[in-house]
Structure 1
Amino acid sequence: MKEDDLLARWLNDDLSEKELAEFEASPDFEKYHKIKNYTAHLEVDDLDENAMLSNILQQKKTAPKVIPLYKKRLFRVAAIFVLALGITFVMKNFVPQSQTANFGEKTTFSLPDNSEVVLNSGSEINYKKWNWDTNRRLELKGEAYFRVSKGRRFEVQTPLGKVSVLGTQFNVKARKNRFDVTCYEGRVKVNYASTQIILTRGQSVTFENGKQFNTDIKSSKPAWIDNQICFNKENIKSILDELQRQYDITIELNADHTTSLFTGKLPTKDLDMALQIISTTYHLKAKKVSKNKIIFDEK
């Protein structure tokens, strides 16, 4: 008989007299007897299985707080949205705004006070929206026509000079060393170097190489608004530069006897006609060597 089985029967008082005598004679009996005497003093309540199950079912389990994955995504999207709004606000109000008209294009846009600006080809304007109503100031490179809403002083700063107005309509052109300002409505104050001049409706002023030229005009808006370029005593280099901007082309001049000044108009939507007028005026021959390149040679 196995010892484990004999031990179990002894603990349950299930041994015969012979078996009990043999077990008591075994060398490990004394050890088993001490254990039995010690455990006899331990008291264990009867196990009520039904009561235990009922108690488990009635206990309220506190579930850990778990944020669903879709809510985490919503929080992240909301944070990004708020950040984007902040960046957009700063960009639109504090960071300088830029408007450009590429070669062969014109751009029309409105300023924060609804003043309207038309940019001629190859021109750029920079300004800030922040506090615009009390600081209507912008920087111009090139040529632009302005219809200014009434309000505080309106300033146009160019590399060659500054124009200050209230509500009015005027044109400013600053190309290389030539500065042209024309007033079509209201009054315009022009600052060029140490010279200051007031223009009223129908007056125009040109500064070039330190010289001043005053002209009276009859039109109500710049010719380039209606797809024509108006020149007043300009050299052929300036004329060809303007054609390159208007048509987005390259022009090469191979002629020496072209020093006379030109006064007149050229179309900005008919290149062949513009080339013919220049050829006739300066006794040149125009040759198209590619789609976007023209060469003028002497006849």
Structure 2
Amino acid sequence: MKENRLLAKWLSNDLNEEELAEFKASPDFEKYEKIKRYTEHLEVGELDENAMLSNILSQKKATPKVVPLYKKWAFRAAAIFVLALGITMVMQFVLPQTQKAGLGEKMTFSLPDHSEVVLNSGSEIHYKKWNWEHHRHLELQGEAYFRVAKGRRFEVQTNLGKVTVLGTQFNVKARKNRFDVVCYEGRVKVNYANTQILLTHGQSVSFENGKQVNRNVAAQQPEWMNHQICFYKENIKSLLEEVERQYNIKIELHTKDTTALFTGKLPANDLTVALQIISTTYHLEARKGADTKIIFDEK
């Protein structure tokens, strides 16, 4: 390091006498002196800085673009999100949609054409959003009230029969072997087995075990939407099953006479009164069991 420092000072003539004597005593002094003697006669032309810069830029190769690793992960995450969003949207339109009202509950929702559906307790509906405007078809399990927007044919399929309308208000109930349809506005076509019936405003039809019962309806909408359970010539077992759905309870019946038919209304928001009406009508006595169980015994 010291020799290099002395060499630099010697080339620039900055050595004092002591440093000069020390440098001349070095073994490489003669070599340095010859080099200096020959290079003093060399002439170097002026440096054209602009020309040199242009030459460097013209020969410069394109630098590969480097994408940081975290950006790669961000792009991948964004792609996965877009793909997942697309799949979710397709599934929502193609796969069947389900709306369900639990026991003791009622549920209101709208279909893609803004038709309105009110589900009664323990009921559910399945439908597809895809191509709904041209194929308005749904499947019902239980009971529902429909306010159908005008448009193409609207079909409600149950395990007991099918109801077809264009734009109207009606109620459909399919429970076990009982099938009830009530028309509150417009016209409704009902298909049950090999029977086809056209209902108009205020008309109703019921089928139970293949037998048909017709009746007129005075109400403007289903009684169950006003917290009343309406029955028309139904046996006690069907009556108690509906009470179980509306109140989300269990009922145990101890009686031999189950043939008497019931026509009338029970409150859907007052269990005590409902139990009193049933007890009086069928000469039974109601008592509470474990949890939510109600037991009817013969008097």
* CA deviation vs aligned residue, 1:129-188 (integer Å, no higher than 9, x gap): 111111100000100000000000100000000000011000000000110000000000
Answering whether residue 100 of structure 2 is matched by residue 93 of structure 1, we say: no
Letter in 2 for 1:222: P
List runs of 5+ in structure 2 lacking aligned partners. 1-27, 31-52
Distance in 2 of aligned mates of 1:274 and 1:71: 67
Instruction: Tell me the SS of whatever aligns to 2:150.
Output: coil
2:145 alignment counterpart: 145
**Do structure 1's residue 279 and structure 2's residue 279 form an aligned pair?**
yes
Q: Which amino acid aligns with 1:181?
A: V
TM-score computed with the length of structure 2 as normaliser: 0.79
Letter in 2 for 1:99: Q
Match of 1:118, SS state, is strand
Q: CA deviation at 1:61?
A: 9.0
How much has 1:195 moved relative to structure 2? 0.2
1:252–1:295 Cα contact (<8 Å) kept: yes
Letter in 2 for 1:272: T
Q: Distance in 2 between matches of 1:63 and 1:133?
A: 56
Alignment match, 1:24: none
| 1:73 Cα deviation after fit | 3.2
Between the two proteins, what is the percent identity of the paired residues? 71
Superposition CA RMSD, Å: 2.4
3-state SS in 2 of match to 1:285: strand
1:22 is matched with which residue?
Answer: none
Q: Quick check: 1:258–1:282 contact (8 Å CA) kept in 2?
A: no
How far apart in 2 are the matches of 1:275 and 1:91? 45
**In 2, Cα distance between equivalents of 1:209 and 1:247:** 27
- Which residue does 1:228 correspond to in 2? 228
Runs of 5+ in structure 1 lacking a partner? 1-11, 15-54
Runs of 4 or more, structure 1, over 4 Å off, are: 58-64
TM-score (norm 1): 0.79
Find the residue that maps to 1:240 and give its secondary structure: helix
Whether the 8 Å contact between 2:237 and 2:258 is mirrored in structure 1 is no
Which residue in the other structure is 2:112 paired with?
Answer: 112
Amino acid of the structure 2 residue aligned with 1:160: L
**2:247 match:** 247
Contact 1:101–1:122 (Cα < 8 Å) also in 2: yes
Which residues of 2 match residues 1-299 of structure 1 at below 5 A?
Answer: 64-299=64-299
Name the CA distance, whole Å, in 1 between partners of 2:246 and 2:225. 12
Residue 72 of structure 1: how far off its partner (Å): 2.2
Note the alpha carbon deviations across 1:163-218, whole angstroms, 9 max, x for none.
Answer: 00011000000000110000000000000000000000000000111110000011
Q: How far apart, in 2, do the equivalents of 1:167 and 1:87 lie? A: 33
CA distance in 1, matches of 2:227, 2:291: 21
Superimposed CA distance per residue, residues 226-261 of structure 1 (whole angstroms, 9 cap, x where no aligned partner): 111100010000011001111111110011123211
- 1:39-76 Cα shifts (integer Å, max 9, x gaps): xxxxxxxxxxxxxxxx9xx8979765332244223212
Aligned length in residues: 250
Q: Distance in 2 between matches of 1:175 and 1:255?
A: 23
**Alpha-carbon distance between aligned partners in 1 of 2:166 and 2:112, rounded to the nearest angstrom:** 15
- Partner-residue secondary structure (3-state), 1:150: coil
